[in-house]
Structures are given as C-alpha cells and as structure tokens.
Structure 1
Amino acid sequence: MKKILPFLFSFLGIFSFSQQIESFETILNDKISIRALEIYDNKVWYSGTDSKFGFVDLKNPKNQKQIRLSEKKLQFRTLAQDKSSFYAINIESPAEFFKIDKKSLTSKIVFTDTVKTAFYDALHFVNDQVAYTFSDSDKNNQLKLAVFRNGKWSMFKNNISLNEGEAAFAASNTNIASSKNYLWIATGGKASRILRMNLKDEKFEIFTTPFVQGESSQGMYSIDFSDDKFGIAVGGDYTKQDANINNIATTNDGGKTWQIQASGKNAGYTTCVKIKPNSKGQEIISVGDQHISYSSDFGKTWKKISDEKGFFVCEWVDKNTVVFAGNGKVSLMKLKF
C-alpha cells in the first residue's frame, strides 16, 4: 500500500493539472523571435526579428500572412494599434516608427529617432488618439518618451531623471500600462520604480518598489492594471531563471505602494503578465522563458500550469483562451475553469 499511494497521488496531480488546459496547439512555426502581440479581427498579429510582421487567424490557423517591413534585418519588440493602423518600432538606432495600414498591410516610416542610444522598450495606446512609447535614456539619464497625438509622433518634453543604471526591458512590450486616468511605466536594473502619469495633466509621480533590483538584469519586466487602483508587476533576473524572490508584486492604490507576493513560491523569472478581462484582477496569466503560470487570487499565489519553454509574451483572446508567442512560435491555449 505504501508503494501504491505515492503513485496514486502522482496520478491525481497529473489528472488535476490536465483539467486546467483543454488544448494547447502551436499555430505558427517560423524562424523568428516574437516579443509583441496584438489581437484584431479575430487574428493574432505579431512583430519580430528579421523585420517580420504578420498575422495568424485564430479560427483558421492556415489563414496566415507574413511580410517584411524593411529590407534591413530589423528587430521589432513593440507593436500597438489604433482603429486603422498598426505601429511598430525597431530597437536599433536609428529607431524607425512604422505605420501599417490594417486593410492593405502597406507600411511607411512616419517618425525616426536618430540618437545613438535610442532603444524603444514598449509602445502603448491609451486610447485611439494617444499613444506613448518609452526608450532607453541618453547619457543625461532623462526619461525619454515619444507621444502620438493628432496623428503625429513627437518627443515628450519632461524633467524626470532616472537613476544611474535604471532602464527598462523590451521583453514583451508590457512595461507600460494604462487605465482611464493613469499611465504607468515600470523601470528595472539598478533601480526598479513605477512612474505614474496623470493622463489629464500629463504630470508624473515616481514611486519606489520592494521589487528585486540592483543589478542590470533585475527588476520589473511587465505590468498590468485592471483599473485605476489594482495592478500587478512581474519580473526577476533573466540571468537567473529559477530565482523567485521578490519578483512578483501587486498594488491596490494605483502604484503608490507595492506588496510582494509569492516570494520563493513561484516559477521564477517572468517576462509578461496579463489580467483576465472582466476579472477585476482576480485571475491572471503570466509567462516566462521556462513556464506558464496562473493565479486566481489577485496574484497572491501561483500555479505553474505548463513547463513549455521559449515563450516571452501572452495575451487574452477571450475569457477561456490565451495566445502565447516567443522563440520560433505562436501557440494557442484553451483553458477550463
């Protein structure tokens, strides 16, 4: 009996694990690294390495198309959209801002940042008329933002200074988030802080966090907010994939204060976090290079639901479906709740 019980408990564990995932299929295989996704017209759209941009139909994965935005081998780690177009920025200098028409998929460069240190980590639309994108700073360590307003891009003037060694990670295009009233930017490296901008007057407040920080590879990599108050941040240290101390935190006051969650009790380094729509923050999915994890209690505890490796970014398609992308693939997971 003693020999049978461990086997039985192991079997039950596998059985309960399988109940959470209804199906998990790869819908795109390609020689590409993808770190940015958008959902539109029941398709998942992506940008990635080798200047590649394209879509996969979520209902009929055989319906897919890919184009190259440039003859140069550019790397894209950003992607965002308004009603009529997609926007993507390459990470190398000069940073070229591409606008891609949703109907024709024709593209053009609408803005260029020629500064040698230009490296755009995330691009985010707060509504159909306004977007912000965050770049590594120059030697003066000043916060570097570009803003899309009235159909045009321009640099956003500010007097915010970052700490020495404080930057951001272009891991999943998700170190920027917004709600009705606020825009949040998460930094990492030698310092990992939250920069919160009031969207009405575009004034910033800066908040320190208890997140792991101090080394160039540490800090917050991804944030998401369900409203003006509740938000979650994930990250860690990409050089130490298993390290799981002080790498998940939540806020209930709009980013002013942060509470560490599941320290030492999570799957480790995490590149992207997404709150399930209409869950008010209770249900959350996250992904790292080595795992996919899920929380049903506002990020307080986490369960690893997959050991699948090589994913960097995820997005909810609907309440039961999540799309993942990363190293050479796009995959679709259907969940049971």
Structure 2
Amino acid sequence: MKKTFSILFLSLGLLVFSQQIESFTTILNDKISIRALEVDGDKVWYSGTDSKLGFVDLKKIKNQKQIRLSEIKLQFRTLAQDKDSLYAVNIESPAYFYKIDKKNLKYQLVFTDMSKAAFYDAFHFVNEKLAFAFSDTDDNRLKLTRYKNGEWSFFENKVKLNPGEAAFAASNTNIASTKKYLWIATGGKSSRILRLNFKTEEIEIFNTPFIQGESSQGMYSIDFYDDKFGVAVGGDYTKQEANVDNIATTDDGGQTWQIQASGKNAGYTTCVKIKPGSKGKEMISVGDQHISYSFDSGKTWKKISDEKGFFVCRWINGTTIVFAGKDRISVMKLKF
C-alpha cells in the first residue's frame, strides 16, 4: 500500500509541473537592461538603462510609451510607486530621485544624494506616505533615504555594516515590508537581515546561514507573506550553476532562517515573488539562466523554463507573471 501511495504522489507531482506554461509572450523589445518593474492595473511600468522609463498596456500591447528622464545616460535599477506617481533613482553618484506622473509622464527631480558612494540598490513604498531607498555607503553605515509625509531625508540610525557587507541591485527586491516591519537583505562577505520596526523605529540585525564570504555571494531578493513568513534567494553571480545554501525561509519574521533545497535547485537567483492569495505556499523565482516554481513554501523547487536573460518578475494575477531583463519584457501565463 505504501508503495502504491508513493507512486500516486510521484505521479501527482509530475502532473503538477507538466504543461504548466500556457503561453510566454514578449510584449516589449528594446535595447535596454531592466531590473525594476511595477504593476499598476493593466500597465506594467519599467525603468532601465539609458535613462529609460516607460509602460506597456497589458490589454492593448501596442499602447506603450517610453521617456528618458535625463539627457545623461543614467542607469536605473530601482522603481517604486504610490497611487498617482512613480519614483526612480539611478545607480552611481550623484543619485537623482525622480517623481513621474502616471497620467502624463511629466517628471521632476525631488531629491539628490551627492555622496561619492551613492549606489541605490532598491526603492520601496510601504504605503502612500512612507518609502525607503537603500544605498551603498562609504563608511560601513546603513544608509537609507526615507520619504515620509511628503518629505525626503536620510534615515538616522546607528547600524554598522560588516566589512564587505553590501547589497545587490539585481531586481529592486532586497527590501520587503508589511504593516509592522521593513526587511532589508544584505550580501557579500556578510549576508544578514536588517529588520526595522515601524512603531519603535528600531533596527534589529539577524545573521543567516546563507552562502556568503565573497563579494559576489549572498541574498539578492526577499519577499514576505506576512509578519512571520518570508523567503530569500540568491547565490553567487560568478558561479551561476552553484546551488548550495542559496535559498532560505523564515517563520519568525526573519530572526532565524532555514536553508531550503540546497544542492537541489536551479542555481543563482535574482528575484523571488510569493503568489498573491497563496498564503505563502506558492512562489516563483527567476535567475539569469532559469525560471523556477515552488508549491510548498520554498522547500522544493522545479525549473519550469530555461529562458535566459531575465532578472526580475512580478505577479499580475494568480496565473500571470511579467518578467524583464536584457532587451525585453515578457508575460507568462500558467496553467494549473
């Protein structure tokens, strides 16, 4: 009987992952590298190289528009949004914070970081009145730019990063939040979780068992379902096939992390997103060399596509995901 059940469950597992992709359609081709996406209704917004920012209408693919935020060829790897506007900040110094009106694409410069070490890895709105942008720093201090109630400023804190501890602007997703917390994932020679409590404005620091020790290693992306459950992915971008200690989950809000699927996943991963409405059970991830899926809260993973050159993904709804990366944006529809 046990053998029969084992065969049955194996068959069901294979069925779950077979014929999973219903369609995979490219909706934008351009000479651009995209590492940041936002979805607002029927529009997919993106920012990228050569100061480019734009949108594609999912219902009317031909309805798309692109602008350049600067005559200088800036690189944008961040994008954030509130109800009416988009916000983007470029990597490298000086760092220019742009606010873009969603209706008419008119933009304005709202803040500038002139520090020589400015390199913004992620930009994230917690709610309509609160946002954070995370930057590299030249003195091992945690550097956050905060938008609060219409005002921009540097968030004062006493957190010191370890030598060689930094972050990766791989997909604009090393920041995540709920109503109670903001989490930041670091990488490099030290890969840790920093957790900001909004009520107390105190930051706690938690060590992780994630691969670390080299400048190319660590967590690249995190996502949280609620105040307790979260997932982190990453690895080593110089060793794309390496798949040891590069996925982890937490059940206590980031205080402790459990390595998952070590040696049994598709390797280096730049973005992970939990499926809306799945209670943290289902999630999709993408790396330069693969797209992978988990049905069991990140414990096991199945590569569902060998598509290369994607860096970031976002759920559009429960069956549709948008991907972006080198020279394109594509939409995948899943069939369960």
Same fold (TM over 0.5): yes
**Partner Cα separation in structure 2 for residue 20 and residue 323 of structure 1:** 15
1:300-333 CA distance string (max 9 Å, x none): 0000000000000000000000000000000000
**Partner Cα separation in structure 2 for residue 60 and residue 236 of structure 1:** 37
**Structure 2 unaligned runs (5+)?**
1-12
Please report the TM-score for the alignment, with normalisation by the length of structure 1. 0.95
User: Which residue in 1 is equivalent to 2:80?
Assistant: 80
User: Which residue in 2 is equivalent to 1:141?
Assistant: 140
Secondary structure at the residue paired with 1:118?
A: coil
User: Which residue in 2 is equivalent to 1:55?
Assistant: 55
Aligned pairs (5 A) from 1:1-337: 19-138=19-138, 140-337=139-336
Please report the TM-score for the alignment, with normalisation by the length of structure 2. 0.95
1:85–1:210 CA distance, 2 compared to 1 (3 A): same
1:73-107 CA distance string (max 9 Å, x none): 00000000011110000002000000001111001
After the TM superposition, which of the residue ranges 13-22 and 32-41 deviates more from structure 2? 13-22
Name the count of aligned residue pairs.
324
1:48-88 CA distance string (max 9 Å, x none): 00000000111121111111010000000000001111000
Amino acid at match of 1:50: D
**Partner Cα separation in structure 2 for residue 15 and residue 278 of structure 1:** 22
Amino acid at match of 1:42: D
CA contact (8 A) 2:92 2:118 kept: yes
**Partner Cα separation in structure 2 for residue 255 and residue 129 of structure 1:** 25
Q: Percent identity?
A: 76
**Partner Cα separation in structure 1 for residue 41 and residue 270 of structure 2:** 26
1:15–1:202 CA distance, 2 compared to 1 (3 A): closer
**Partner Cα separation in structure 2 for residue 176 and residue 16 of structure 1:** 31
Secondary structure at the residue paired with 2:19?
A: helix
What is the Cα-based RMSD across aligned positions, in Å? 1.2
**Partner Cα separation in structure 1 for residue 281 and residue 15 of structure 2:** 24
1:221-270 CA distance string (max 9 Å, x none): 00000000000000000000000000000000000000000000000000
Runs of 4+ in structure 1 off by over 3 angstroms are 13-18
**Partner Cα separation in structure 1 for residue 295 and residue 63 of structure 2:** 34
Secondary structure at the residue paired with 1:126?
A: strand
Secondary structure at the residue paired with 2:284?
A: strand
Amino acid at match of 1:184: W
**Partner Cα separation in structure 2 for residue 200 and residue 30 of structure 1:** 44
**Partner Cα separation in structure 1 for residue 330 and residue 18 of structure 2:** 17
CA contact (8 A) 2:17 2:302 kept: no
Q: Give the drift of 1:275.
A: 0.1
1:276-301 CA distance string (max 9 Å, x none): 00111100000000000000000000
User: Which residue in 1 is equivalent to 2:7?
Assistant: none
Amino acid at match of 1:240: K
Q: Give the drift of 1:41.
A: 3.0
1:15–1:276 CA distance, 2 compared to 1 (3 A): closer
**Partner Cα separation in structure 1 for residue 333 and residue 276 of structure 2:** 15
Q: Give the drift of 1:199.
A: 1.0
